[in-house]
């Protein structure tokens, strides 16, 4: 999706175009790709289900517009690239990103990352009734490597606060050890991990579009409230 289409989409949404948007397709989506195009996965819960911690308007704009732009741009980049790349799994493109042609490398890093990260992020959150608790396995590894669940949360927040500008903080497990990582922009921990030893358990989006409408510049407050929407069942299931 180019910038003009993106602005047009935003304007339609702005005039109450929810119903309109549902029935309408943008040109980028109508385009026939020679491969199975990437489609952003919508959150599995209603967009107001994370209120009051993550507000409905943020979820709406973030999932319906920002996420879709990443997916569409990834499709456009793959369409231009050698067709062999579109046949590979996105995770494979991440793992081998350093060996991709320069143009595609940038697109996979930015738009591929944006597509995958948001699919993952929606699953890291859920309404309270579906959150559950950290599994015994997850609890054990967090205690082993951070001292306690509370220490993990404190260190995760510190990392997320320390992302300069846009990016993500992640909880990963690598070779049996839990670690907190920070990435810039839409980079994720799978990129360049050719040994496939990284399991991504949790990610938090600290791009301003994830919190600015409700929290403005108060990223720390957003990160404190984030724990109210964390889906521990999902995170626990990522630990294999």
Query: Which positions lie near Mn ion, rule CB under 5 A?
Result: 205, 207
Nearer CB in complex with Mn ion: 196/209: 209
CB 206 within 8 A of CB 240: no
Nearer CB in complex with Mn ion: 120/146: 120
User: Please, what is the minimum distance in Å from the beta carbon of residue 202 to Mn ion?
Assistant: 15
User: Please, what is the minimum distance in Å from the beta carbon of residue 212 to Mn ion?
Assistant: 11
Give 125's strand partners: 230
Nearer CB in complex with Mn ion: 173/203: 203
User: Please, what is the minimum distance in Å from the beta carbon of residue 203 to Mn ion?
Assistant: 10
Residue 4 and residue 7: Cα distance in Å, rounded? 5
User: Please, what is the minimum distance in Å from the beta carbon of residue 124 to Mn ion?
Assistant: 12
Nearer CB in complex with Mn ion: 95/205: 205
CB 166 within 8 A of CB 136: no
- Nearest residue to Mn ion, by Cβ distance, number only: 205
Nearer CB in complex with Mn ion: 118/138: 118
User: Please, what is the minimum distance in Å from the beta carbon of residue 213 to Mn ion?
Assistant: 12
* Short-list 79, 70, 7, CA closest to 40: 70
Burial (Cβ within 10 Å: 0-12, 13-18, ≥19) of residue 181: middle
Alpha helix (H) residue ranges in 24-127:
27-30, 56-61, 67-80, 83-86, 90-95, 102-107, 113-124
Q: Is the peptide bond before 52 cis (omega within 30 degrees of 0)?
A: yes
User: Please, what is the minimum distance in Å from the beta carbon of residue 128 to Mn ion?
Assistant: 22
Pair type for strands 167-174 and 198-205: antiparallel
User: Please, what is the minimum distance in Å from the beta carbon of residue 137 to Mn ion?
Assistant: 29
Nearer CB in complex with Mn ion: 45/236: 45
Nearer CB in complex with Mn ion: 64/157: 64
Rounded (10°) CA dihedral 180, 185, 188, 191? -130
N-to-C CA span, the chain:
37
């Amino acid at each position: 999706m180019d910038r003009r289409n993106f602005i047009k989409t935003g304007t339609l949404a702005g005039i109450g175009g929810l119903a309109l948007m549902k029935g309408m397709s943008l040109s980028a989506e109508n385009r026939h790709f020679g491969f199975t195009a990437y489609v952003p996965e919508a959150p599995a819960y209603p967009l107001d289900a994370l209120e009051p911690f993550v507000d409905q308007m943020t979820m709406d704009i973030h999932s319906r517009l920002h996420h879709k732009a990443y997916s569409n741009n990834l499709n456009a980049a793959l369409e231009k690239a050698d067709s062999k790349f579109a046949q590979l799994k996105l995770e494979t493109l991440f793992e081998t990103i350093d060996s991709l042609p320069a143009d595609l490398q940038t697109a996979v890093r930015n738009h591929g990352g944006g597509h995958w990260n948001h699919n993952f992020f929606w699953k890291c959150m859920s309404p309270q009734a579906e959150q559950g608790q950290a599994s015994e396995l997850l609890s054990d590894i967090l205690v082993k490597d951070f001292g306690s669940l509370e220490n993990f949360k404190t260190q995760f927040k510190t990392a997320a606060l320390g992302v300069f500008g846009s990016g993500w903080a992640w909880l990963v497990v690598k070779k049996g050890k839990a670690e907190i990582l920070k990435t810039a922009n839409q980079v994720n921990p799978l990129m360049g991990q050719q040994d496939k030893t990284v399991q991504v358990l949790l990610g938090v989006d600290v791009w301003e579009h994830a919190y600015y409408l409700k929290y403005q510049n108060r990223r720390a407050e957003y990160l404190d409230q984030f724990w109210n929407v964390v889906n521990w069942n999902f995170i626990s299931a990522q630990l294999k």
